[in-house]
Amino acid sequence: MLSDNEGIRMIRIVPSILAADFARLGEEIAAVERGGAGMLHVDIMDGHFVPNLTLGPPVVESIRKVTKIILDVHLMITDPDRYAPLFVEAGADQVSVHYEAATHLDRTLRNIQTLGAKAGVVLNPATPVSVLQDVLDVADYVLVMSVNPGFGGQKFIPNALNKIRRLAKVRDERGLPFRIEIDGGVSRENVESIVRAGCDWLVAGSSIFHSDDSTSAVRELQQAADGALAIRV
């Protein structure tokens, strides 16, 4: 089994700032760090690949100045080759690109790694796991979308669990080290089944930042995730 720490599988709850109050971003980030979050998800949307706009490298640079947390940048943009380097330069520790947007995916992933960041590949709900067969030994992680990208607060698409199971199986069979991440509609209701399917990193936006207390929300999701891990057979 994969582990971040000598044989112990480590599940991360990854707050997505898309649901945070941007006027108080520093405080919002500090609150989830108090809850134990060690990784923060940053959604970049260009109004082309997805019908929404968010933020650019200067915001990542500002976040980098106020925290040492691992910055997990999710590019929902049509031209990842052009912009990925700017996000690494701004302080991203890892950058994921959509399979659907990357024409030369192998090169894109390797370029991100050459710049010193981890490289991930993202699958939309309609894209099967099988298309990644020849790049799973290159990617540091695979992000399975459990909603159609573009907006927070959408309903979880359960087929994402089948895709995670398939990825975890291939990973075991081929002895590969990539991590599996999920994004969209993650909440206290589905965290156990996601972990049991084999997922390592669980992105959660509204279920954390739209709760009464984001610090406790992170803690509760982490406890639920760790509990599910304990009973996995």
Q: Is 33 left (phi over 0), alpha (psi -120 to 50) or beta?
A: alpha
- Token pair 């993202």: residue: 122
Q: Tell me if 185 contacts ligand DX5 by CB under 6 A.
A: yes
83 close to 96: Cβ distance less than 8 angstroms: no
Binds ligand DX5 (CB under 6 A): choice among 13, 117, 147, 180: 147
In angstroms, give the least distance from the CB of 184 to Zn ion.
Answer: 7
* Residues 54-93 as x/- pattern, contact with ligand DX5 by CB under 6 A: --------------------x-------------------
Q: Tell me if 223 contacts ligand DX5 by CB under 6 A.
A: no
Segment interacting with ligand DX5 (CB under 6 A) among 16-24, 25-33, 64-72, 159-167? 16-24
Binds ligand DX5 (CB under 6 A): choice among 51, 153, 158, 177: 153
Q: Tell me if 16 contacts ligand DX5 by CB under 6 A.
A: yes
SS3 228: helix
Full DSSP string of 147-186: S-TT-SSPPP-THHHHHHHHHHHHHHHHT---EEEEESS-
Per-residue tokens: 143 = 């992000």
Q: Is 43 a catalytic residue?
A: yes
Catalytic site positions: 43, 183
